[in-house]
Amino acid sequence: MIVRFRERAAGVKRRPLPPVAGEERQLFLQQAQVDFQDFAIIADATATVEDGVLVLRIDMRGDGE
């Protein structure tokens, strides 16, 4: 599952821009950024199964801590 999210994050970066302009283009770019961030967060998680439950651990402390 983690690999799949890494691939999805990379796919968002490769996503071609549709032939839109103006406000629609900006909305598309904003959504692509949100999609990338969401997929990248999951892709960086450490996954374990604990008592039959998938647990994703995501370090939210940042690089300096």
CA-based angle 17:30:26, to the nearest 5?
60
pLDDT of residue 64: 58
pLDDT means per 10 residues in the chain (65 residues)? 84 81 86 90 92 93 69
pLDDT of residue 2: 82
pLDDT of residue 57: 94
pLDDT of residue 65: 55
Burial readout 34-58 (b: 16 or more C-beta within 10 A, e: otherwise): ebbeebbebbebeeeeeeeeeeeee
pLDDT of residue 13: 84
